[in-house]
């Protein structure tokens, strides 16, 4: 009886590991635009070399390599000081978020409870750290923006927290009347 349980447990563990490895492989390929096609809804496409010319090293790391900036860093401090305006993708300029939906979740990264233009933001499952998270991606260029979390009790209208890398955003202040 015990050997059968061990065999079943080992088989389940192997299946889970293969599934996770497959998801990570697919996710990582989608961020390297030279090796795989961009998502079907992507409109802005550049080679890896072109992205490196367009973006700063930090922006490239965040947007093209699915990197994460340091918590409570300079981008977060700037975000807290920014007034009314909109937040656009630093890679392609797509409108992503608005100051009307921003809030301070005290997590160390810019937070929004909803996108300003839902069509410009897509999400997908992310297993890169071994568990399931929901990655947030620019629908226009495929750039990694951060992750969205639900049900954390922030008492926002959507009960969501779009935890976004500030280095992947470009703030455009509202024009004064």
Residue in the block written with tokens 């065999």: 7
Strands (E), the chain: 85-89, 95-98, 102-103, 111-112, 121-126, 133-138, 144-150, 160-164, 169-173
Whether 163 sits among the annotated catalytic residues: the reply is yes
DSSP 68-97: -PPTT-HHHHHHHH--SEEEEETTT--EEE
The pLDDT confidence band at residue 176, using thresholds 50, 70 and 90, is confident
Of these residues, 92, 138, 141, 163, which one is catalytic? 163
Q: Identify the band that residue 115 occupies on the pLDDT scale cut at 50, 70 and 90.
A: very high
DSSP tag of 132: -
Q: Tokens 């991606």 — which residue?
A: 137
Q: Decide if pLDDT at 158 tops 50.
A: yes
Domain extents in the chain: 2-173
Please state which CATH class domain 2-173 belongs to.
Answer: mainly beta
Give the whole-number percent of the chain exceeding pLDDT 90: 71
Q: Which residue has the higher pLDDT, 79 or 22?
A: 79
């Amino acid at each position: 009886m015990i050997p059968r349980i061990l065999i079943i447990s080992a088989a389940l563990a192997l299946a889970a590991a293969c599934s996770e490895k497959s998801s990570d492989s697919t996710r990582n390929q989608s961020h390297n635009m030279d090796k795989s096609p961009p998502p079907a809804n992507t409109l802005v496409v550049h080679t890896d070399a072109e992205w490196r010319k367009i973006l700063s090293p930090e922006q490239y790391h965040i947007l093209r390599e699915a990197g994460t900036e340091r918590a409570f860093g300079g981008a977060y401090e700037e975000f807290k000081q920014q007034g009314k305006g909109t937040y656009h993708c630093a890679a392609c300029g797509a409108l992503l978020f608005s100051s009307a939906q921003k809030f301070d979740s005290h997590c160390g990264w810019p937070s929004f409870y909803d996108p300003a233009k839902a069509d410009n933001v897509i999400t997908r499952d992310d297993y890169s750290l071994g568990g399931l998270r929901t990655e947030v991606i620019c629908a226009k260029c495929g750039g990694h923006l951060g992750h969205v979390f639900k049900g954390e009790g922030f008492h926002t209208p959507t009960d969501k927290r779009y935890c976004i890398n500030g280095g992947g955003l470009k703030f455009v202040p509202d024009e004064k009347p």
